[in-house]
Amino acid sequence: MMTPEKSARNAFHLMTGQPPEICVRAPGRVNLIGEHTDYNDGFVLPCAIGRETVVAASRRSDQTVRVIAADFGDVQDQFAIDQTIEALPGSAWQNYVRGMVKIMRDAGHGIGGTDIAISGNIPLGSGLSSSASLEVALGTMMQHLWVLPGLDPAQIALLGQKAENDFVGCQCGIMDQMISAAGQAGHALAIDCRSLALSPVPIPDDLAIIIAQSGITHDNVGGHYNDRRRQCEEAARMLDVAALRDADMPMLEAKRGQMDDVVYRRARHIVTENQRTFDMARALAEADIQAMSMLMAESHSSMRDDFEITVPGIDRLAEIMQRAAGKYGGARMTGGGFGGAAVALVRADQAEAVCASVREHYTTPAGTPPEIMVEKAAAGASLCP
Ligand code: ADP
Ligand code: MG
């Protein structure tokens, strides 16, 4: 397999006949715990993974942006920075680039015409955040190429989130862009999604991160996502707090009688998940596998029973991984839900046994074996050397 950098360089040469001035990489991510807490101003604990998106780029002397997507059959896009930048209909890959350029331009960052080639090895739309990694790669590339002062990883993450919210039309929180921009090798990153304070948490060397794809996709993830957001906002209003991050279980129990049961359970997931995310950061730092395993199992049950974002196939996958990990690790669904992937944290010497068990006991709806990755926590976006 060609590396994303090589593939981006080749596509760049195909489009321009020249080598690029720079290449920038930005990783995908897996969330270890803290699901749907980000837009409740709460806490998340993701880590960046070895899969990444690479953009190769050079400055131009005019106001044109020209883009080639190596992973989409070398299709090209072209637009002008000094004119109205419009979104294409549907969820076209072009919109991530157009959105990022528009948001950066509108924020007053001094970018000019640019030739860009894109390639990545993050499976698209499978919950590992290829979209955020593309946005962060583009933002970081523009920062280096146009020597933009005062742009740090957190600001690039915020620009990426804004592009995805306002231009692409997905109301995601800040987690995905932040971990892609600010991840540290060998660490998970505890993110306070209100203050954006970042606390790196070392992942013990002898732990492996296993990500197994369920192969289940859902056609109305966006709709469910927006429903959950609305229910969380309603719960916060009833509890008279700015966001569910400010609620605790006694407050919630005191209001239970007046709350719709669904809204109550949605809030209970967020309140308990925030606490679990705290506890998980500590358990990870202390290499307390038993505590990690329990927290991951509780998180999964809470997503299944209270937040209702799992599906039977992913419940089964998480259960297979948990059973195979035994006392050496834990597992849960990761990502927004309704399919996607499950993640396990297990002692590295057990990783092969867990993978083998998943291959033996789980088949995707298409009848194929599940895609499994064994990962180490990677670093956030950077210039390719
Ligand atoms: P996820 O972020 O979970 O992978 P999304 O649906 O949010 O899934 O984002 C996937 C979309 O991001 C792709 O359909 C494509 O439009 C864009 N994208 C991601 N990686 C690339 C890439 N290497 N080249 C072009 N577009 C990409
Ligand atoms: Mg995405």
Among candidate residues 36, 106, 34, 63, the one with its CA nearest the CA of residue 281 = 34
Among candidate residues 156, 140, 134, the one with its CA nearest the CA of residue 70 = 134
Tally DSSP H helices, then E strands, for the chain.
Answer: 11, 12
* Domain assignments of the chain as residue spans, ordered by start: 4-200
What is the distance in A from the centroid of ligand 1 to the CA of 53?
Answer: 10
Is residue 377 within 8 A of residue 209, CB to CB? The reply is yes
225 known member of a binding site: yes
pLDDT number for residue 160: 98
Please report the DSSP string for 130-167 in residue order: HHHHHHHHHHHHHHHHTT-TT--HHHHHHHHHHIIIII
Which phi and psi angles does 65 have, rounded to 5°?
-110, 125
72 lines ligand 1 (CB under 6 A): yes
What is the H or E stretch that residue 334 is in?
strand 329-334
pTM over 0.90: yes
Mapping DSSP to helix (H, G, I), strand (E, B) and coil, where does residue 342 land?
Answer: strand
CA-nearest residue for atom 9, ligand 1, is: 131
pLDDT digit string (tens) for 317-355?
999 999 999 999 999 999 989 989 999 999 999 999 999
As a whole-number percent, the residues of the chain with pLDDT over 90 amount to: 92
pLDDT digit string (tens) for 200-258?
999 999 999 999 999 998 776 678 888 999 999 999 999 999 999 999 999 999 999 99
What is d(CA 219, CA 31) in angstroms, rounded to the nearest whole number?
22
Active-site annotation holder among 176, 288, 315, 349: 176
pLDDT band at 126 (very low <50, low <70, confident <90, very high): confident
Is residue 119 within 8 A of residue 7, CB to CB? The reply is yes
What is the distance in A from the centroid of ligand 1 to the CA of 165?
Answer: 14
pLDDT number for residue 53: 98
What is the distance in A from the centroid of ligand 1 to the CA of 92?
Answer: 9
Q: What is the CATH number of domain 4-200?
A: 3.30.230.10
What is d(CA 119, CA 105) in angstroms, rounded to the nearest whole number?
23
